[in-house]
Structure 1
C-alpha cells in the first residue's frame, strides 16, 4: 500500500517539477531531492509492505515513508491552491505578473520550510532503508522469518477425509465426468477457478484420489505450484514423482539438468502414457506457459488439472486445448449450515436459542468453506454460551484480527500482497463503502480517477485504464460480479465478500486510509485523508485540524445532512478536497463552500433536492465529473462552459417508479447552447435538444468528438438531420439514448450515417416511421431498446442479422398483429422483452432462430391468447415471464399444463412466472 502512495507522489512530483519549474525557485531543489530519494526507497517497499506485519520496527518505518509521501502531496496541493490557481484564473498564465502581484510572501516561505522539513525526514528514512534491506536481503531469511510467525495450513486440504467435506458431490461428479471422457488421445486442461478459501484444492484432491480416476490413468502426479515457484525445482520434483510411481530411479544427472532438458524428459516419459497431473494453486500465467510444452499433445492421453484464483489463468490454460473451466461456487445455504454445525456443534444440531445468530454468521460467510470452518471451530470453544456468541457477532471485525482468525486473514492477505502497487489503493478503496454494498462500476471508476489511483497509459483514456484495473480485481477473484450488462462479462455492479470487506477495513484502519463515521462517537484522526459517512453523522466528533482531508463521501443517509453538519464537513479541511460525494445529503442549495475547492475533481449530488446550479460552478476549473442525477436541476448555467476538464456530466432524472417504462418517466435538463466547447466530455447524459437563433444543441454535439455516452431528450422532428450528421463525427460513441420531444412527435432518424459509431447500447424512445436503416450496420450492438416507437412493419426483419445483439426490448414499439422470428436470425440473442404491444395477437419462433435465448418476458400484451408458436425450439430457454396478460391467456396456459404431453410446450423451461398487477403492486406466481 505504501508502495502505491509513494509511486503516486513520485509521478506527481515529476510532473510538478516539470510544469512549475519557473515558479518553484529554491523549492524545486528540495522537491528534486525528495523525488530522487523516494525513487530509491520505492524499490524496497514491496518487500517492506509484505513483511511489516511480522516486524513492528519495519512497520513503523513503512508508516514514516507513507506519511512523508502524503506530506509531499499536501505541499504540492497547497502550492497549486495558492499560486497555480491564481495563474489560471486571474493572470492567464503570465508568470511574471504572478511574482509581481504576490502580496503574501509568508506563504511561499512556509511552503519552502515544509519542503525543507520533508527533505530532512527523507534523509532519515533513507538510512533506515539500508538497515532493513540487509535484514531481508535473501529469500531464505524472508521465508524463514515468515514461517516462524504463521503456519501455512493450505496443505491441510490434502489430508481431509471425504466425510469432513461438504458440498462437493456435484462439482466432483462433473470433474470426474470430464476426466472419464472416452477420447482417443491428446491433452486437455481442466481449470478449477475460485476465490481463496472456496475449497478448490480440497475438491480436486478428492477427484484425484477417486478410484475411478486412479484406474483411468497410468501416471498420476500432484504438484503444488504456489506464488513463489521455481521452475527447475518444480520440474525436478515432478520427474522424481513420475519415475517413483513406476519404481524407476531418477535420471542420471538430474540435479545438473536445465529446465529445457527436464521438460524434454517429462515429454518423452509421458509420450505413450495416459496421465493426470494436478498443478495446484497457480498464481502466474507464466507458470503454465513455462510448463505447457512438457506435456505431449499427441501419442498420449492426458489431463492437466489446474486450481487457481485467476480467471485469466484458467481461461488461457484451458482454451488452447479445448478443455474445460469449472468456476467453483460457494456452498448453498443448507450446505453451509451442515458444515457449520459439524464444526461448531461437533456434528450435533444447533440449539434453538442460537439459530438467529447462526443465520447472521452464515450470511457473513456467504458460503465460503474456509470462513465457515474457521468461525465454526472458534465458536465451538464458546460452549454454546449465548452471551459469548453475541459478543463474537458484535465484534466480528475485531475478531478477524485475533490469533484465532489469522489463518483466514493470512489466506486473504496473500492475494492482497500479490497485487501490483497500482491496484492496492484501488482495492482498499472498497472500504469506503458500507458492508454488502452494491457498487456501480461507473461511479467507482470515476472515483478512482479523481483520487489519482489510475496511471495514464499511452493510447488509452484514464477510464479505459481504470476498467482494466477493475477487470484485474475480478480476474483475481477479489471482488464479485453482482450484475452484468447484456449478459456479457462487462460489469455494471460489483461487490465484495463480507469477510473480505472486513479484512479490507482492517488494512484500511491500519494504514489510516479512510475514517468511517456512522454515528456513535466516531473520532476523526488528525491526519484523516478520506472521510466516509454511513447512515448518520450524529455523535461524530471531529478533531481540530483535518488539514489533510482529500475526500468526503456520503452513502445511504436516512435524511439529508443539516446545514451545521454540512458546514462541519466542508469547513474542516484545508480546501484540498478532490472528491465530494454528497449522495442524498443536500437539501435545497449547494453550499458555497463547495466552490472554494479548487482541486475538486468529482462532485456527486445524486438523489439530492438541489434545485439549481449556481454560477459559482465556473470556479471549479479542475472538475472532471459532475453527477446531478435525480435532482431537481432543470437548467445548467452558462458558467459551466468554463470547465474545460469536465469529462462526465449526468443531468437526467427518473420520475415515478423505476421499472415502469412510460414515455415521460425520465426528465432532462437544458444546457448552454455552446456546449460543444467542452471538448473533453466523454459522458453527456440527459440534455435537452434546445435551440438558439444560430445554432442547436444537436449541431454542437458533433464537436464533442470524445463522447462515449450520449443521452439527448426532447428531440424535434426537424432536429433529426442535424443529429444524424453529428453522430457520424462521434467515432468513439458506445452508448446512445434519444427521446422525442412529444409522445406523438416522430423522430426523423432515417438519414444515412457513414461511418457509424461503434455503438453497443442503443435506446430510442419515441415514434419512428420505421427502424432506421443505419441500425443494421451497428455490428457491435449488444443491447437495443425501442420504446413508444409505434412501428407498423415487423421490426424483426431489420434487426435479425445484427451479429452481436444479446438483449432486445420492444416496448410499445410495434402496432402489428404478429411477430415472426425466422430461422437463422438473432444468433446471439439471450434476452428479449415484449411489452405493451397493444395489437399483438401471435408470436412465431422458427427452428434455428434465437438458439441461445435464455430469458423471454411478455408484458401487457392483452390480445395474445397463446404461448409463442414454436417455443419448444428454444432449447436454452431458462426463464419465461408472462406479466399482466389476459385472463384468457392464463386460463389456457393452466389447461395446457394440466393436459401435459404435446400440449404443454413449456415442459423443459425451469422457471415459468405469471405476474399480475393489482392495486399498483405486482404479484408473482410460479407455474
Structure 2
C-alpha cells in the first residue's frame, strides 16, 4: 500500500511549493524532480498495491517506494519546523539575522537530504521499469484462477455442518417459489465467511425449487470476471441442461450476440439464475439485460458482500434482500463441538478457552469450522496447545495451512477495497479488540491523517462519512448503533477481520501497538493500557500519530508525556480518558498537530499559548471541566471543530445538565468552524452577531439565552444556511421566543430546543429534512403534534415537560417515518391516542414520570413494528394492569412487543424489571446512566 503514502507526499510537496516558503534554487529543483518522478509512479502503484500479495518481488518494490515516500515526508516536516511562526509579530534585526542564518543552513541541509532521496528514487525507478516490462501485473486484484479457487473454499461446509441454515433456507425458498409471476431479483448479502454461497447452493439444490423452474444455472462472478466468459458459461449450462448443442460459433460471438442468444433461449421459460459473488454494481449492469422480463415467475439471485450492490440490483424489480446474520452463540457452540469434538460435548476444563475462541469467531461458520478442525487434531489434555491458538490467532492465520482458505476469503474483502479506503480501514488496527468505534471521532482522525480527499461541493466530513458508509455496506464494519438519519454512529470490527488488518498493518509498518517490540521507524503508535519508560526511546521521533486506550497508571501517563516531548512530527494526538491535573505543556511544541483530543481527561484550563498550534483543525475537550477559553484560541484560524462541554449526571436530567464554555469576544474570526459546541451566551457578549458571520457552521449549540437575545438569535440562524444541527436553550425562567425566524436553514436535520416557548415555532413545519426534534421544558399549551405530524422525514421525537395538555393524539396516517417516541414528565397527560395508520414504523416507546396517564396508549396494538417499550418511574397503578402473570386487563395491548420493561431509581441506581416482576438488570455505576442510554442525553448536541 505505497500509493497513499506517495499521494500524501505529493500533496505536501505541492503545499511547500505554493506556500510562502522561499526556497533556494537547488532545493526547489530537487523538490520538483521528486514530485515529477513520484507522480509518474502513482498510476502503476495503484495497480501494484492490489497485486503485491501474490508477487514477492513486486511486494519488495512497493515497500521500497513506501519507505522512501515516508522518509521524504519526514524530511519536509522537519524542515518546516525551522520556518518560524511569528504570529503576526515583526521580529527585530537581531532575530531576523539569526533566522536568515538558520534558514540558510536548513535549506542546505534539506537540499543534501533530498538529493539522497532522489538518488534512491532513481534506483527504484529502474526497478519500476524492469517490473513494468517483465512482470504481468493484473489490472486489479488477485488473478482469476486464485479467485475461483477461493470461491470453491466457500462451499466446504458439509451437510452435517450446516447449523442454523434451515430457517434462512426456508425464507429464501419461500420467496423464490411464492409471490407474483413477475421477474424478481433477490440478493443474499453479508460479510465473507458467513455462508452466503452455501445457503444459496442449498436453496438452488432443493427439490421443491428444482421442480418449480424449467431452467436454472449457477454462475460464479467474482471481482475479476470477464463478461464474455461469464455469458459463455451461462450458455453452456442452459443448453447442456436441455441437452441442446451449444451454437457452433459461440467462440467467435461478441458480447451483444452472446446476450441475445441467452435472452432468446430464456423467452417463455420459468428460470432460476444464481450469480455468486457479485462485487460491484458494474458487474450487474453488464448482465442484467439478458433476462426476459415476462410473467413466468422467473427469479434471479445473487450473493454479495456489498449492501449497495444488493439494494441496487433488487430495487429495479422490487425484489428481495436477505441479510444473512452470524450464527447465535448456541448455534456456534453446536457447530464447534461437531467439528472440534466429533459431535461430543466440550470437556469442562476446555469450556472457557472454547468460549473465548467462539467469541473471536463472531458467528462466522467458515471460521468456526476452520478453527475447530485445527483444534480437533490437538490433544484435549494439553490445555497449552488450545490456549496457544487463541492467543496467537493472527500468526496462526498467517502460518497454518489448515486456516489458509479462511484467511484468503477474509483477505479478499481487504484486497478489493478501492485504494482510498485501504489506509482508512487499516487505521482501525489502532483500536483494541472489541472496541466500540465512534464514527465522529474516526472521521476527525482520518481527516487529520490526510486520508480523506476533498471533493467539489462536499466537506471533508461529508466525504469521510461516505467512506464509512462504503465500509459498512461492504460488511467490513459491523453497525452497533445508527443515527436517526440511518448513518451508523458506532460500529465494531469483527475480530478476524481485525486480525487481517493487524497483520497488514504490521507488515507495512502502518500502525504499531505498544506490545510490538521489533518495529523500526514507527509512524503511528497505539498505546493499549500501559507504556513503560524503557519503551519511550524505541518510538519516535518520527511519530505522526499517537492514540491511547485505557491508560490509567501515573507511570504510563508520565511515559506518554516523555514520548510526546520527543515526537515533534505528531499530527494526531488522542489522550481520551487519561487523567491529567493540568494541560500538558509539551503539546504546545507540536507544530504539525491537526487533531487534539483530551476528552474525559479532567483538565480545567487551557493555556493562552494554545495559539502556537497554528495547524490545529479539531479540538475535542468534551467531558473536561473547562468553562472558559483563552483569547489565544482565536489565533487558531484553521479550527474546523471546537467541542467543549460536559454533562451533569443525576437520576433525571436537570435543567442545567449541559455545561459549555463562556462566549469569547471575537470568536466570529474562526470562519472555518463547522462544529461549535457548547457555547454559553451572556449579556453584552455580542455572541449572536458574531455567530451570524460564521457561515460554514453545520452544528451549533448555544445555552444561557435570554428572552432579549431571541431577535438576534433568529437573525443569526437565518444566515447559517448550511446548518444541519441546532441546539438552543434559554436561561431557566426565561422564554425562548423563536417566532422572529422566517427563513430557517433549509437542510436542518436535528433540532434541540430547551426552555419555555412563547408559542410553537411555526417555521418548524417547513423543515422537510428534519429527522429529530427534542422539546424540553417548553410547557406548550397547544398540542405540538399538529405542527410535526406532516414532516416527511421525522424519525425521533422526545418531549420533556414540553406540553401541559391532557391528551396527545397521533392522527390517522401521520408520522409515517417515526421510529422512536419519548414522553417524559408530561404531568397533566391523561391519555394518548394512536389512530389507524399513525406511526406505522414506530419501534421504541419511552414513557416516564407521566403520573396521571391512565392507561397504555389507545391503538398501540396496531403498531406491528414495535420492539421495545420502557417505563421509568411510572405509578404501580399504571404498571400492574400490564402484568402477564396477573392477567392484567391491558396486557393484550402489548403482548406483541418483544421487550417491555419498567424501571425505578433505587439506592443510587436504576433497577430494571420485566413485566413479570423479575429484576432484569441494574444500572448503578453512575446516576443517570440508564437515562443517558435510553433517553439519548449524550445525543443532545
Q: TM-score, normalised by structure 2?
A: 0.93
Looking at structure 1, the residues matched to 345 and 317 of structure 2 have their Cα atoms a distance apart, in angstroms, of 47
Answer yes or no: is the 8 Å Cα contact 2:737–2:759 preserved in 1: no
Partner of 2:166 in structure 1? 169
Q: What is the Cα deviation at residue 586 of structure 1?
A: 4.5
Partner of 2:825 in structure 1? 836
One of 365, 372, 377 as aligned partner of 1:376:
372
One of 207, 211, 218 as aligned partner of 2:207:
211
Answer yes or no: is the 8 Å Cα contact 1:756–1:777 preserved in 2: no
Answer yes or no: is the 8 Å Cα contact 1:865–1:892 preserved in 2: no
Partner of 2:873 in structure 1? 884
Q: What is the Cα deviation at residue 581 of structure 1?
A: 0.9
One of 759, 777, 782 as aligned partner of 2:766:
777
Q: What is the Cα deviation at residue 563 of structure 1?
A: 6.4
Answer yes or no: is the 8 Å Cα contact 2:607–2:630 preserved in 1: yes
- Secondary structure of 1:382's aligned partner: coil
Partner of 2:938 in structure 1? none
Residues 134-168 of structure 1: CA distance to partner in whole angstroms, max 9, x if unpaired?
34226599978985xx9934314446443331111
Runs ≥4 residues deviating over 6 A: 96-100, 140-146
Answer yes or no: is the 8 Å Cα contact 1:897–1:904 preserved in 2: no
Partner of 1:279 in structure 2? 275
Establish whether residue 911 from structure 1 lines up as the match of residue 899 from structure 2: yes
Distance of aligned partners of 1:146 and 1:590 in 2 relative to their CA distance in 1, 3 Å threshold: farther
Partner of 1:527 in structure 2? 521
Please give the residue correspondences for 1:225-624 in structure 2 after superposition, counting only pairs within 5 Å. 225-298=221-294, 300-384=296-380, 385-403=382-400, 404-486=402-484, 488-517=485-514, 523=517, 525-538=519-532, 541-543=535-537, 546-559=540-553, 564-573=558-567, 575-624=568-617
Partner of 1:67 in structure 2? 67
Distance of aligned partners of 1:723 and 1:307 in 2 relative to their CA distance in 1, 3 Å threshold: same
Looking at structure 2, the residues matched to 753 and 765 of structure 1 have their Cα atoms a distance apart, in angstroms, of 20
Looking at structure 2, the residues matched to 870 and 851 of structure 1 have their Cα atoms a distance apart, in angstroms, of 11
Query: Which is worse superposed, 389-398 or 322-331?
Result: 389-398
Answer yes or no: is the 8 Å Cα contact 2:426–2:501 preserved in 1: yes
Looking at structure 2, the residues matched to 863 and 174 of structure 1 have their Cα atoms a distance apart, in angstroms, of 45
Query: Which is worse superposed, 872-881 or 421-430?
Result: 872-881
Answer yes or no: is the 8 Å Cα contact 1:517–1:540 preserved in 2: no
Query: Which is worse superposed, 440-449 or 837-846?
Result: 837-846
Looking at structure 2, the residues matched to 217 and 45 of structure 1 have their Cα atoms a distance apart, in angstroms, of 48
User: May I ask how many residue pairs the two structures share in their alignment?
Assistant: 911
Distance of aligned partners of 1:884 and 1:461 in 2 relative to their CA distance in 1, 3 Å threshold: same
Establish whether residue 764 from structure 1 lines up as the match of residue 753 from structure 2: yes
Unaligned 5+ runs, structure 1: none
Query: Which is worse superposed, 440-449 or 2-11?
Result: 2-11
Query: Which is worse superposed, 732-741 or 817-826?
Result: 817-826
Answer yes or no: is the 8 Å Cα contact 1:189–1:318 preserved in 2: yes
Distance of aligned partners of 1:820 and 1:51 in 2 relative to their CA distance in 1, 3 Å threshold: closer
Residues 760-780 of structure 1: CA distance to partner in whole angstroms, max 9, x if unpaired?
111112222332112111111
Residues 415-449 of structure 1: CA distance to partner in whole angstroms, max 9, x if unpaired?
11111221111011001111111111111111001
Answer yes or no: is the 8 Å Cα contact 2:880–2:888 preserved in 1: no
Q: What is the Cα deviation at residue 386 of structure 1?
A: 1.7
Partner of 2:925 in structure 1? none
Q: What is the Cα deviation at residue 100 of structure 1?
A: 7.8
Looking at structure 2, the residues matched to 626 and 781 of structure 1 have their Cα atoms a distance apart, in angstroms, of 28
Establish whether residue 923 from structure 1 lines up as the match of residue 911 from structure 2: yes
Q: TM-score, normalised by structure 1?
A: 0.94
Distance of aligned partners of 1:66 and 1:87 in 2 relative to their CA distance in 1, 3 Å threshold: farther
Distance of aligned partners of 1:864 and 1:560 in 2 relative to their CA distance in 1, 3 Å threshold: farther
Looking at structure 2, the residues matched to 181 and 563 of structure 1 have their Cα atoms a distance apart, in angstroms, of 63
- Secondary structure of 1:422's aligned partner: coil
Residues 544-588 of structure 1: CA distance to partner in whole angstroms, max 9, x if unpaired?
672311111112223566663243121222x11111111122512
Distance of aligned partners of 1:221 and 1:883 in 2 relative to their CA distance in 1, 3 Å threshold: same
- Secondary structure of 1:276's aligned partner: strand
Distance of aligned partners of 1:391 and 1:163 in 2 relative to their CA distance in 1, 3 Å threshold: closer
Partner of 1:726 in structure 2? 716
- Secondary structure of 1:634's aligned partner: coil
Looking at structure 2, the residues matched to 144 and 863 of structure 1 have their Cα atoms a distance apart, in angstroms, of 70
Q: What is the Cα deviation at residue 620 of structure 1?
A: 1.1
Partner of 1:662 in structure 2? 654
Q: What is the Cα deviation at residue 400 of structure 1?
A: 2.4
CA RMSD of aligned residues (A): 2.4
Answer yes or no: is the 8 Å Cα contact 1:557–1:584 preserved in 2: yes
- Secondary structure of 1:26's aligned partner: helix
Q: What is the Cα deviation at residue 104 of structure 1?
A: 4.8
Please give the residue correspondences for 1:747-896 in structure 2 after superposition, counting only pairs within 5 Å. 747-894=736-883
Answer yes or no: is the 8 Å Cα contact 1:713–1:741 preserved in 2: yes
Residues 275-321 of structure 1: CA distance to partner in whole angstroms, max 9, x if unpaired?
00000001121110010011111254321100001111111100011
Query: Which is worse superposed, 299-308 or 280-289?
Result: 299-308
Looking at structure 2, the residues matched to 668 and 563 of structure 1 have their Cα atoms a distance apart, in angstroms, of 27
Partner of 1:714 in structure 2? 704
Query: Which is worse superposed, 887-896 or 137-146?
Result: 137-146
Establish whether residue 202 from structure 1 lines up as the match of residue 202 from structure 2: no
Query: Which is worse superposed, 536-545 or 702-711?
Result: 536-545
Query: Which is worse superposed, 641-650 or 542-551?
Result: 542-551
Looking at structure 1, the residues matched to 661 and 554 of structure 2 have their Cα atoms a distance apart, in angstroms, of 23
Partner of 1:672 in structure 2? 664
